[in-house]
A and B are shown apart, each in its own frame.
Chain A
Amino acid sequence: MFDYLLKRLLILVPTFIGISILVWLVMTLAPGDPGAKSAGGGLDSGPPEDLTNLEQGRSKRAFREKFGLNRPRFWNDWDELPKEEVKSALAAVLGGVPEAGAERYKEASRDLDDWGTYSLRPLVALLPELRDEPRLQSMALRYLRQNAYRVRALYPPGYVPTAEERARDQEVDRQNLLIRSDDMTWAIEASPEERDPVVAKWQAWWKEREADHTYSGFGQVWNRLTDTQFAKYWSNLARGDMGRSIRTNERVSDMILSRLKYSLSLAVPSFLIAWILAILLGVFSATHHRSVADQGLGVVLFALYSIPSFVMGTVLQRWLAMQLDIFPQSGFQSDSVIGMTTPERLKDILWHITLPMICYTYTGLASLSRFARAGMLDVLQMDYIRTARAKGLKNRTVVWRHAFRNGAMSLVTLLGTALPILLAGSVIIEYIFNIDGFGNLMITSIRQNDYNVVMGIQLIVAMLTLIGLLLTDLIYAAMDPRISFK
């Protein structure tokens, strides 16, 4: 038993990794840049040629850094970034939208930001070469100063840094002061002769640090593999961190867990009701095989099976909630829920979720009862049932004690696969009835391009599905003594 469980759990791991890679690939390889669509990613107002204003576009850079968008997806070969590429990007930013076109301008300014410290080497190398093009040289200097700037480490509140850490912070501060000092820059109208000493200072500055930014051999390959979006997302995920919402800055896992309770409290009871009803109807149909009642039931269930939940939900909402005003139109509970006693509140919630629950239930019912009926019919034709009847057992005993147990086996297998179906159903039902659950979160995040949340939802659903499949196997094995754990 234990070995079996362990083996199953081990198989889950590659499957889960496969799912996450698939999901990640879909999210990142799709055309369009998630950062570009979101808050911090707008087009800058003009060329940042101003040598003093290094704060421009800082929030955008911080945003891209925070959400890991400022690195290549799989392979980071920026440690050998060619000068020509940097030069052309500088020229495009200098030319601005009128000369380079909006797309190219946006791309170039984004690249120059994203390259960060990787751009230092080519920029320092470019400085003397651009002696004849003062505006371009100034632009190179501007980005040099921007990208050389380092950020002090952030400590959690109450944490006392060690002496070593303090020394490192002081060094960072000293560096930043130096970089931002007037010695390391020139006025925009400065002549080449005035600029040369500054260029020399930058070259000396770089010489000191070059070793820190140079990779070779294994270290280079390692850096190229790890300093990527893919590796970063994965190292975070391995620590259980699914990132934060681009919109609300909430932790994705918190967002999902807080919504999941609404969805599950709707989906699970409805599914259980559907399951029990399906068994009852299935047994009834099978024992009254080919009677008028069986055929009538078959027609009704078939019709239900062909009505999608969004049609049923819309019709029920319009008819029962709006026209007849029996049920509330939407929501999980009333707004006045605070002042209610517990029974009142329970009643209020039940009142609200009746219609969504009907929608959940009937979809499950229609397909489950077909399986239940087929399973029971198979079992009722078996020899041991005939034997039981021949022994003179009561019909009820034969059906419920002998046939039912085996007939219900097929329904157990469906328990595990039900979860993804339920969660998929939650998207549409929660949308119709405006319940602030899991499905609605999915739709809102999709509308807002909040891709961290969308990915988190995918991963949680995949995990729940895998667990459901595992549980199914275990229950199945527990119910059927013929299955042994080997």
Chain B
Amino acid sequence: MNDGHDPDPDVLPDGDGESLGEVSLPSWFEDESTGPLDPTSPAPTGELAGEALATLPTVEAETTSLASLPPPVSRREIVLQQFRKHGTAVWGWRVTKTLIFLAIFAPILASGEPYYWSAPAAKGGGWGLPWFANLFDRNVYQFVLDRLFNLVMILVALRYVLRGLIWLGSSILGDAGAGKGLDRWVGRLAWAVGGVLALSMVLPHGEGPVGKVIGAIDPTTSAPRIAYADEARKAEAHEAAAREYASADAARQAELLAEMPTLAKRDDEGKVLGVWSPEDWSFSLVPTPVPYGYREQLPELEDRFITSFDFRRGPHVLGTDESGRDVFAQVLYGTRIAMTVGIVAVSIYILIGTILGALAGFFLGWVDTGIMRLVEVFLCVPSLFLLLMIISVTPAEYRTIFLIMAVIGLISWTGTTRLVRGEFLKQRNQDYVAAAKMLGMSKTRIIFRHILPNSLTPVLVTASFGVAGAILTESGLSFLGLGDPNVPSWGALLNEGRTNARWHLIVPPSVAIFITVTALNLVGDGLRDALDPKLRK
């Protein structure tokens, strides 16, 4: 597919290290007074390129002759520059970023837990922040992926707050450099803390000392710290009863008191002192815009299936599904699933594909033959069929979304392998590889530090189309009823809409799938065009 669009290696400077070599060489000859870049420094490699590039502008500033030279840019930078000029692709990228943002911050929009809650006076008062307190609760967010996403949400939010504070502080002090350094350290800290916490949430808590440490770090809780739902329902019923009591006749009043003994104010011996007023029962809540999680079902058994906007039941913006779960929340949390499936599956197959492609392209011979035969075998089995087959032989208890991600990753690596192999075939005869060999570098180092960074840019195109593909595969699988039944997948919702013939269940997931896939395809298109030297602007 990309064969016709492969960039011409002669037109492009080849990667970071080598472009440096090309650019710095003329400066030696033209102006010796400025001095060359230190010739004793080790051969420029991928890891050094960043530092070397950073020193280059100062060299340029001192000399006039260098001004006429093209700026030292790597292929990656060229591609990114080209990408930024591609209007639709930039929009695609913005939409993708928005979707990732929505996935991370989903609970802010829709959660069964209100931000703030205070108990009615009749219940003795009290308040709490259930939304925040229950972010890591196993019973509120039953699926581990949701708890992990909540962790990311908190860390990202903290990061932005800290960045704002650092910016504020550094602009007050007038020291932008220190601010940047501090900001970088905060970023690293966030990664480290997030990594440790995430691992502790995922790893099993064993018996031994390691297991105990993991258990101590794990923020997951097992009972909602602030349970309010039942209280809220009770208070609502009492408020309604108290209202009716105020305007009812005596017989009805007695009836109401008998039905709901807690309506009355009583003293310690249980003697009725009076009746609580409706205001005493009023229950203050600051709910999320859509006050439902994706699992919460409507309590009433009859008429659960809300097919339109209905205020009496609270704002079910897009209605509910057959079992009374909010559609908006399902679609919103489905973004989390889709994004995770896309990114994890693609990471797996890019990793496998790159390694195999690199080995095939570098060693050639029987390694190449073997790997390419394997690729051929995989190409002849449609991946959907292979996926269906693997899912079919897996017992239902293992059929989780993580297995689906892994399987998609394990069977879709062939395209990447062929692409990376092609890049390696092009790169392996270049001078810098010969130079690296002459310097006596190990094969591993040459492959992974020198050739690979130069071969990875085209993989970006496959990756962005691949994310869309993986999302479609997962939705398709759920649509067929073979996905993970415990996660809010767009495909499953769509299938429910199909079997019930309900537009309100068909349209939201369809639109979500369409937007996501279009955005990712636009990004892929833009990247492909950016890689094509013929289309360069």
* Residues on A with beta carbons closer than 8 Å to the beta carbon of B475: 308, 310
B382 within 8 A of A: yes
A397 within 8 A of B: no
Q: Is the CB of A442 within 8 A of B385?
A: yes
Q: Is the CB of A420 within 8 A of B380?
A: yes
B398 within 8 A of A: yes
Stretch at the interface among A14-22, A145-153, A193-201, A352-360: A14-22
Choose among A303, A314, A445 the residue that contacts B518 (Cβ–Cβ < 8 A): A303
Stretch at the interface among A164-172, A278-286, A449-457: A449-457
Per-residue contact bits, chain A 26-63, to B (CB 8 Å; 1 contact, 0 not): 11001110100000000000000000000000000000
CA distance A305 to B381 in the complex (A): 23
A471 within 8 A of B: no
Per-residue contact bits, chain A 418-455, to B (CB 8 Å; 1 contact, 0 not): 00110110011001100000000011011101010011
* Residues on A with beta carbons closer than 8 Å to the beta carbon of B521: 302, 305-306
Choose among B380, B393, B494, B509 the residue that contacts A451 (Cβ–Cβ < 8 A): B393
Closest residue on chain B to residue A446 by CB atoms: B392
Stretch at the interface among B24-32, B191-199, B369-377: B369-377
Q: Is the CB of B514 within 8 A of A458?
A: no
B394 within 8 A of A: yes
A408 within 8 A of B: no
* Residues on A with beta carbons closer than 8 Å to the beta carbon of B480: 427-428, 431, 443
Closest residue on chain B to residue A311 by CB atoms: B510
CB of B372, distance to nearest CB on chain A (Å): 11
* Residues on A with beta carbons closer than 8 Å to the beta carbon of B99: none
CB of B402, distance to nearest CB on chain A (Å): 15
* Residues on A with beta carbons closer than 8 Å to the beta carbon of B398: 31
B143 within 8 A of A: no
The main secondary structure of chain A at its interface with chain B is: helix
B496-528 contacts to A, CB under 8 A, are 497-498, 501, 503, 506, 509-510, 513-514, 517-518, 521-522, 525
B390 within 8 A of A: yes
CB of A258, distance to nearest CB on chain B (Å): 19
Q: Is the CB of A427 within 8 A of B384?
A: yes
Q: Is the CB of B389 within 8 A of A458?
A: yes
* Residues on B with beta carbons closer than 8 Å to the beta carbon of A378: 4
Task: Answer whether A457 and B494 are a contact pair too, CB < 8 Å, given A18-B373, A27-B393, A303-B518.
Answer: no
A317 within 8 A of B: yes
A461 within 8 A of B: yes
A315 within 8 A of B: yes
Q: Is the CB of B506 within 8 A of A314?
A: yes
Closest residue on chain B to residue A312 by CB atoms: B510
CA distance A306 to B495 in the complex (A): 19
CA distance A34 to B479 in the complex (A): 24
* Residues on B with beta carbons closer than 8 Å to the beta carbon of A18: 373-374, 376-377
B20 within 8 A of A: no
Q: Is the CB of A26 within 8 A of B389?
A: yes
Q: Is the CB of B510 within 8 A of A454?
A: no
Q: Is the CB of B395 within 8 A of A32?
A: yes
Q: Is the CB of A32 within 8 A of B373?
A: no
* Residues on A with beta carbons closer than 8 Å to the beta carbon of B498: 314, 317-318, 432
B383-432 contacts to A, CB under 8 A, are 383-386, 388-395, 398
Q: Is the CB of A462 within 8 A of B381?
A: yes
Considering only CB atoms and an 8 Å cut-off, how many residues of chain A contact the other chain? Answer: 51
B342 within 8 A of A: no
CB of A410, distance to nearest CB on chain B (Å): 8
B148 within 8 A of A: no
Task: Answer whether A446 and B514 are a contact pair too, CB < 8 Å, given A30-B390, A461-B381.
Answer: no
CA distance A256 to B183 in the complex (A): 63
Among A19, A22, A311, A466, the most chain B Cβ lie within 10 Å of the Cβ of A311
* Residues on A with beta carbons closer than 8 Å to the beta carbon of B503: 318
* Residues on B with beta carbons closer than 8 Å to the beta carbon of A177: none
* Residues on A with beta carbons closer than 8 Å to the beta carbon of B145: none
Among A420, A432, A457, the most chain B Cβ lie within 10 Å of the Cβ of A420
* Residues on A with beta carbons closer than 8 Å to the beta carbon of B468: 306
A307 within 8 A of B: yes
CB of B371, distance to nearest CB on chain A (Å): 12
Closest residue on chain A to residue B513 by CB atoms: A311
B112 within 8 A of A: no
CB of B392, distance to nearest CB on chain A (Å): 4
Q: Is the CB of A26 within 8 A of B380?
A: no
CB of B387, distance to nearest CB on chain A (Å): 10
A415 within 8 A of B: no
Task: Answer whether A15 and B384 are a contact pair too, CB < 8 Å, given A30-B390, A318-B498.
Answer: no
* Residues on B with beta carbons closer than 8 Å to the beta carbon of A14: 373
Q: Is the CB of B385 within 8 A of A458?
A: yes
Q: Is the CB of B394 within 8 A of A428?
A: no
Q: Is the CB of B384 within 8 A of A424?
A: yes
A81 within 8 A of B: no
A465 within 8 A of B: yes
Task: Answer whether A454 and B472 are a contact pair too, CB < 8 Å, given A302-B518, A307-B514, A423-B382.
Answer: no
Q: Is the CB of A423 within 8 A of B385?
A: yes
B361 within 8 A of A: no
Q: Is the CB of A446 within 8 A of B389?
A: yes
A23 within 8 A of B: yes
B482 within 8 A of A: yes
Q: Is the CB of A322 within 8 A of B501?
A: yes
Per-residue contact bits, chain A 460-486, to B (CB 8 Å; 1 contact, 0 not): 011001100100000000000000000
A255 within 8 A of B: no
Closest residue on chain B to residue A17 by CB atoms: B377
* Residues on A with beta carbons closer than 8 Å to the beta carbon of B384: 424, 427
Top 6 nearest A-B pairs (CB, nearest first) are: A446-B392, A30-B393, A420-B382, A306-B518, A18-B377, A424-B384
Q: List 8 A-B contacts (CB under 8 A).
A: A19-B381, A27-B393, A302-B521, A308-B472, A308-B476, A318-B498, A443-B480, A457-B385
Q: Which residues of B contact A (CB under 8 A)?
A: 4, 373-374, 376-386, 388-395, 398, 468, 472, 475-476, 479-480, 482, 491, 494-495, 497-498, 501, 503, 506, 509-510, 513-514, 517-518, 521-522, 525
